[in-house]
Chain A
Amino acid sequence: MLSVKNLAKQYTCRDKKGRKTIVKAVDDVSFILEEKKSYSLVGESGSGKSTLARLLLYIEKPTSGQIKIDQLDLAKMSTRELRNKRADIQMVMQDGQSSLDPSLKIYDSIAEPLRNFLKISKKEEKRRVEALISKVELPLAVLDRLPHQLSGGQQKRVTIARAISINPKFIVFDEAVSGLDVTVRKKILDLLLRLRDESGSSYLFITHDIDVAMYMARNILIMKDGKIVEQLENISSLTEFKHDYSKVLIRSLPPRTPGHRQVKI
């Protein structure tokens, strides 16, 4: 459903003396994400995962390369076509707080996509918003609050509720569960898996947590320095990783208990 060809995004940055360097945030990336399948994207901090996500959502335009959704080239779509596509693709941003409008009550933040894309009555809207907030394990009382009045993990869950509100076909989750305690995290991940199976949507799950990555999808992409260095389909064990960087990641996993603590060499 989504194909990416030679995608690149460059940023120019300068040091104090004005010398330019080009940052190849996304560097000649090609892949295909098939319908009704989920993928996990793991990678080094600063390797371009969030940038890639923003390109897929067309929040930012690529420097070069092509993104096709259902065979249609995003760059060739009219504003109106793009707007309609937006109903199919949602994203949970890495930064929970700044992706919520600070002046909007939580209720309105969650209701916003419903109002934009569905024609439903006020009563139905209220019913849905309340159902969504309970699904992400939050009390109804938070609906009346502003984003800064919630904890980090509560903000994250609001952005998840908003992304799933209109049953999109494709959702990009960028570090969506990283600020949640492990019990809530498991409940939310199970909710997402259930929704995916019910509605046949696909996910791209960006996470630094290899355990989360494997739980959400067995198709795994590994990113480093702007490139996808390894893509594995249907893996069943971490031993299948071949690339040096992937192996570094597995070696760097923290100990399971204090008894497994690595003593520094």
Chain B
Amino acid sequence: MKNSLEIKDLNISLVGNKNPLVQNLSFDVRKGKILGIVGESGSGKTLTCKAIIKLLNEKVFKVSGSIKLDGNNILTMSEKQSRAVIGKDISMIMQNPMTAFNPMMKIGQHIVETIKAHTELTKKQAYALGSSALEEMNLQRVAEIMNSYPHTLSGGMLQRVMIAIALMLEPSIIIADEATTALDVKNQAIILEQFQRMRDIGIGLLVVTHDFGVIAQVADDVLVMKAGEIIEQGSVYQIFYNPKTEYTKELLQSRFLVDEEQLCLV
């Protein structure tokens, strides 16, 4: 099928080790839809995301299966081809914002270089585009942020910078790995609105999260992962109202800690 990211029989293991870390994953990220992934910590969600953007070191990981974007298999492309496709068509928001940035490079420089690598914009235009992308993420004092090093920003500010970078070039697929873990609920709601806006202009999103509130708010379809495998998949309504596996039921039961009635939430 065209117009989507199709993953088929994806297997990931360590080189020289038979035990798979990720096993027989098959799923599609359709454009104009949000696919949520929930699951056990350590079940292979991040490895799967990294495999899609070819970020797994070949000396360490063995990846097999196919990952097709608009029909072209990323795994069998030449290095040069895949780099062009991935930078422009797929962007990823990393789980760990601090290690995703070059500590020696100012945010503004990072943003301008990213934009210039994929567009014909001038430096000045790139700077303006980057600044407005940051503003859309509800960041204050944007001029100072552009001139800051990553370690001087708070965890949630850095997450929003990374989200801005992933969204600003409007790729066809966005992968968000725990993108709102460090955000207060107000900023999270702003980011989720941005995700929905991206979906509405036809972008496909893969949203990995432990937060069922995020899934409830934005996902169209959901995958549940455990121990390297997809154990359940379905529409968001099916997963919430009619879960099939014990593990999904267990997750749904543990998602609230405090009795809702006690909290007097309406």
Q: Would you give the shortest CB distance from A48 to chain B, in whole angstroms?
A: 8
Binds B, one of A31-39, A69-77, A91-99, A111-119: A91-99
B27 close to chain A: CB less than 8 A: no
Please tell me if A3 contacts chain B, counting CB pairs below 8 Å.
no
B7 shortest CB reach to chain A, Å: 19
Q: Is the CB of A239 within 8 A of B210?
A: no
Q: Give A186 to B237 CA distance when docked, in angstroms.
A: 24
- Closest-CB distance, B229 to chain A (whole angstroms): 15
A6 contacts B by Cβ under 8 Å:
no
User: Are B210 and A254 neighbours in the complex by a CB distance under 8 Å?
Assistant: no
Q: Does B181 contact A (CB under 8 A)?
A: yes
Q: Which residue of A lies closest to B252 (CB)?
A: A182
How many residues of B sit at the interface, in one of the four size bands?
A: 35 or more
Selected A-B contacts with CB under 8 Å, 25 pairs = A14-B147, A15-B147, A21-B144, A46-B153, A46-B157, A95-B96, A154-B42, A157-B41, A175-B182, A179-B210, A181-B41, A181-B251, A183-B250, A183-B251, A208-B184, A208-B185, A215-B258, A238-B263, A249-B185, A254-B217, A257-B216, A258-B219, A258-B236, A262-B217, A264-B196
Contact residues of B between 163 and 189, Cβ < 8 Å to A: 178, 181-189
Q: Which residue of A lies closest to B190 (CB)?
A: A252
Q: Residue A165 at the B interface, CB < 8 A?
A: no
Q: Are B40 and A256 in contact (CB under 8 A)?
A: no
Provide the main secondary structure of the chain A interface. Answer: mixed
B162 adjacent to chain A (CB < 8 Å): no
Contact between A16 and B185 (Cβ–Cβ < 8 Å)?
no
Contact B38 A181 (CB under 8 A): yes
- Classify the interface of chain B: helix, strand, loop or mixed: helix
B residues with CB within 8 A of A: 38-42, 45-46, 95-99, 108, 140-141, 143-144, 146-148, 152-157, 159-160, 178, 181-189, 192-193, 196, 210-217, 219, 236-237, 240-241, 250-251, 254-258, 260, 262-265
| A208-B183 contact given A152-B46, A181-B210, CB 8 Å threshold | yes
Q: Within the complex, what minimum Cβ distance (angstroms) separates A95 from chain B?
A: 5
- Is B144 a contact partner of A182 (Cβ separation < 8 A)? no
- Verify if A234 is at the interface (C-beta below 8 Å from B): no
A45 touches B42 (CB 8 A): no
Partner of A13, one of B98, B147, B178: B147
Is A87 engaged at the interface, CB distance under 8 Å to the other chain?
Answer: no
Q: Which residues does chain A contribute within 8 Å of B258, judged by CB atoms?
A: 211, 214-215
* B254 pairs with A183, CB closer than 8 A: yes
Q: Contact check, B257 vs A214: say whether CB atoms are below 8 A apart.
A: yes
Residue A236 interfacial (CB < 8 Å): yes
A181-B251, A215-B257 given as contacts; is B41 within 8 A of A252 (CB)? Answer: no
